[in-house]
Structure 1
Amino acid sequence: MPILTASDGVELHYREKGRGRPIVFIPGFTCTTRFFDRQLDALSDRFRVIVYDPRGQGESEKTRRGQRVGRLAHDAHDILTALGLYDVVPVGWSLGATTLLSYLDLFGSDRIRKICLIGSSPSPVNRAGWTNGIGDVAAGDALRTALEQDFATVAPAAMRQWFHRLPPEGEFHMLAKETLKTAPAEGAAAALWDGLNQNMFDLLPHIALPTLIIHGEHDALVPVVNADVFREKVPDVRVEIFADSGHAPFIEEPGRFNELLNDFAG
């Protein structure tokens, strides 16, 4: 099981397949490398495809330490550095997309060729002048408390909201079991809470990279109107809306997703 050690000593598990330009997937809240099985298989004939378990998730070290977006971004930097990666196309999904934006803010784009953001929002919670987030700050606080008190029930139940149409039963239960590898609950809740409270609006006009925005038309968590914000504010942007997807287009419409990313990353 491949393991890298982050700069603060936390062990991070990753998987990789193929050769060529690196594509690095950054999973979302509670998610693991298994969520990107289809991408590892479909894209590895042309690219070096890498996906890792964020700290506290999947097979990575279980820790409360560093469960905040800035540290998660540093972990992404540690992955790229340890593997000697340049000319990278990082793909961030949900909290992973927020992590990727934070990476650009903190470390710049020296190692990066292009970026892809899936189900992303520049401000996941509502604030003055912005009402297209997941909810208000109080809702985020309530979710954090619920996760801390009953993670084993709340996390899999929340996962059902990610899909416009649920995956086949066997796959759904496998993915749900993957989310339950996340520990401790307080750490996961802290990472999500910090992610929800990020405000990346001022970063968007300064993203000097080709950017692909992928969003599900039926995303019940991050309203699809968020894609329009990236369209308006990111200088070199391409927006693709998936008509039959919710929050996880790479699972719900994998054929179109893989074809699109194959074209974009080439």
Structure 2
Amino acid sequence: MPYLTLEDNTQLFYEDHGQGQPVLFIHGVMMSSKFFQKQVPYFQKNYRVLTVDLRGHGQSSKVEHGHTVAQYARDMKAFIEQLDLKDVILVGWSMGAFVVWDYINQFGRENIKATTVVDQSPSDYIWPGWDFGAFDFEAIKGVMQAIQEDQHGFNAEFIHGMYKEKPEQAEYDWVLEEMNKLPASIESTIVFNQTAVDYRDTLGNVTVPTLICFGSVGFFPVEAGAYIQERIPESRLVAFENSSHLLFLEETEKFNQTLDEFFSSL
């Protein structure tokens, strides 16, 4: 199994399939690269498909430091440079979209050909005048406490919100297994950080073609996707009527074809 070692000796687990235009899939908080298992076989036929476990997640090092969106973005910069990737298409799901936006805020569009945002509002926090978040202060306080006191129970319940329809038991089981790989100390830290960040004022920094995919029910309304589309010049929005947060598992065929059409248009 391939690992990439960062300057602080953190090891990132990744998989690298296919050849050609590189496409890097970045997962959400508490998740892992395994969530893209239905994308890799499809896209590796025509693209170089890379999936990576962010530090602390999945099979990557369970280091207790560096768990901020900004550091995850720096990790992705190091990942791209060490693998000598050029003109990368970044696909960020959930917090992975934050990582994409933070990458661009820190490093610009260097080596980035296009981006795809998958079901993520520009901010998870419900700020004054901002209704497209997921947590207010009481909610995030409760989440932090639940993770620390009963991580397994919190994760087990959280899964239900990611699906529009109840998943098959086998799928539910592997999703929970992946989530439970993240130590509670890391989980509560990064959940808080990714809730506090806010990219509303910097979306205009994204100056590459962008596809925005949103589920019709779940954590964020499609209107949050429309907000993003209005602020990223070269972007388009596609709604997934039969999905919540896991579009690529719930509507796999539509998701893969939508991304493939976008990639082919670049």
TM-score by length of 1: 0.96
CA contact (8 A) 1:133 1:223 kept: no
Once the two structures are TM-superposed, the CA of residue 87 in structure 1 deviates from its matched residue by 0.9
Q: How far apart, CA to CA, are the structure 2 residues paired with 1:258 and 1:217?
A: 17
Identify the residue that residue 242 of structure 1 maps to in structure 2: 240
Code of the aligned partner of 1:30: M
CA distance in 1 between partners of 2:220 and 2:185 (Å):
23
Normalising by the residue count of structure 2, what TM-score does the alignment of the two structures yield?
A: 0.96
For 2:225, which of 204, 224, 227 is the aligned residue?
227
Alignment of 1:149-188 (within 5 A): 149-183=149-183, 185-188=184-187
Name the SS of the counterpart of 1:61 in structure 2: coil
Distance in 1 (alpha carbons) for counterparts of 2:63 and 2:213:
31
Query: C-alpha deviations, 1:112-150, integer Å up to 9, x for none?
Result: 000001011111111122122102133112212211221
1:27 maps to what in 2?
Answer: 27
The separation in 1 between residues aligned to 2:234 and 2:137, in whole angstroms, is 31
Provide the aligned C-alpha RMSD in A: 1.1
> Is the CA contact (8 Å cut-off) linking 2:105 and 2:205 kept in structure 1?
no
One-letter amino acid matched to 2:223? V
Q: How far apart, in 2, do the equivalents of 1:49 and 1:60 lie?
A: 18
Q: Distance in 1 between matches of 2:175 and 2:16?
A: 19
After the TM superposition, list the runs of 4 or more consecutive aligned residues in structure 1 that deviate by more than 3 angstroms: none
The match for 2:210 is 211
Q: 1:165 corresponds to which letter in structure 2?
A: E
Matches for 1:59-138 after TM superposition, within 5 Å: 59-138=59-138
> Does structure 1 conserve the Cα–Cα contact (< 8 Å) formed by 2:90 and 2:100?
yes
User: Does 108-117 or 123-132 show the bigger shift?
Assistant: 123-132
Aligned-partner Cα distance in 1 for 2:53–2:166:
23
Amino acid at match of 1:127: W
Percent identity reads 30
Deviates more, 1:69-78 or 1:130-139: 130-139
Q: Which amino acid aligns with 1:94?
A: S
- Residues 137, 197 of structure 1: 8 Å contact kept: no
Preserved contact between residue 13 and residue 60 of structure 2 (Cα < 8 Å): yes
Pairing partner for 2:252 from 244, 250, 254 = 254
Q: Is the 8 A contact 1:56 1:63 kept in 2?
A: yes
Check whether the contact 1:134–1:223 (CA below 8 A) recurs between aligned residues. Answer: no
5+ long unaligned stretches in structure 1: none
